[in-house]
Structure 1
Amino acid sequence: MELSQRARLRAGDQGALGEVFDAHAQAVYAYALRTLADWAAAEDVVSLTFLEAWRLRAKLHEGDDDLRPWVFGIATNVLRNTARAARRHRAAMARLAEREAVPDFADELVSRIDDGAQLAAARRALPALRRSEREVFRLCVWVGLDYASAAEALGVPVGTVRSRLSRARARLRALAENELHEPAKCREPAPATGQVRGGGFEAARSLQEETR
């Protein structure tokens, strides 16, 4: 009898990892990009997510072949660690006697990607939510996971996902409305960097070579 993709991955089949990567890498990248508003950082999250998936393969529980909740649970943990590392870096930089101010073009970048003032306002308002609400919003709204899959990814009951998402939507709606009604600020267009969107997938794919 042919083994399922889940069983093959648990058994250490590198081909199964490649299939999971092909099926979900683009969605993980989009999830990370919307969260971080940084193309290079999003590509790093893709690589780390599938390296972690390979490392944790033996802990993958029995179930059907829908591995999306498991993959996005790992991606969410990677993003949490990325956020903690960024906070530590900012704290270290703040302790320096002399530091150079670096302009933050995150809002401009997200506005270009989402191509809408309302989505850009929501993206700016998102950090005001609790982390648990942000994670549920990203998984259900951005990634498109249903309540059960998001609950599996986060390790919480389905009812918790429902209540967190409801609170997140209500708060985001109010915060985004406030953003849109504030006087518009003139912004210079961001200079071209020559960076190609999603161009680092070849680097991310190299993780398959690392497991061989």
Structure 2
Amino acid sequence: MFPAPTTHPRTVRSAHRDGEITAWALAAGGGDREAAECFVRATYDDVRRFVAHLSADVPGADDLAQETYLRALTSLAKFAGRSCARTWLLSIARCVVIDRYRSAAARPRVADTLDWQTAAERAQPRHLPGFDETVAVFDALDAMDPSRREAFVLTQLLGLSYAEAASAAGCPVGTVRSRVARARRDLTSVWQPARSSRNHVS
């Protein structure tokens, strides 16, 4: 299995960075192991966040990311660089999550999905500035329509363009724009009452 990177430097969204990632993918497809390692390290954080949000399964995100890279690295020899390698990789991650859902649906349900608030409480101490807001956003994302959540995560959290998100999600650009707009409305409808309630109490 491929080890998760020990550090996750913030990825700068730029054409140069995407070109660099694509170049690593092409080199890795030709057998360059060092390029393969660079490709994984440069994209791992985005893949993990994407599958965590899309699946609403924070503890299982690393397993889903590992499966994504297993599929991707065995397919790199066929990657021709016609699109950004990161967009191609996220489309594989999406298929991994879909396959996991299908597999889970075929088995008897033994437990409810871990809720976002529990995950946030384990990841961040309480009583810190922004904690309640973070939990509120996670709760809202968890309750959101899956297609809207996917479009929102791809564009607003991972920084993909609408065209790149459409390619990753396998739908028209206009559909992504519509889903993002609706996701924003969903978040606003949840966020404003919560803020008003806290202001009223204080």
Tell me whether the two structures share a fold, i.e. TM-score over 0.5.
yes
Taking the TM superposition and a 5 Å limit, the aligned residue runs for 1:1-212 are 4-35=23-54, 36-39=56-59, 41-63=60-82, 66-89=84-107, 92-93=108-109, 104=114, 106-111=116-121, 113=123, 115-177=130-192
Determine which structure has greater relative contact order: mean sequence separation of CA pairs < 8 Å that are 6+ residues apart, divided by chain length: 1
TM-score (norm 2): 0.68
Aligned residues: 171
Which deviates the most, 55-64 or 124-133? 55-64
Contact 1:111 1:117 in 2 (8 A): no
The Cα of 1:104 is off from its aligned counterpart by 4.7
The Cα of 1:47 is off from its aligned counterpart by 0.8
Q: Percent identity?
A: 29
Q: Which runs of 5 or more residues in structure 1 are unaligned? A: 95-100, 184-212
| Cα 1:141–1:87 shift into 2, 3 Å | farther
Contact 2:149 2:183 in 1 (8 A): yes
| Cα 1:10–1:166 shift into 2, 3 Å | same
Q: Which runs of 5 or more residues in structure 2 are unaligned? A: 1-21, 125-129
The Cα of 1:5 is off from its aligned counterpart by 2.9
TM-score (norm 1): 0.65
- The one-letter amino acid of 1:78's match is V
Match of 2:17 in 1: none
- The one-letter amino acid of 2:61's match is A
Distance 1:50 1:75 in 2: 8
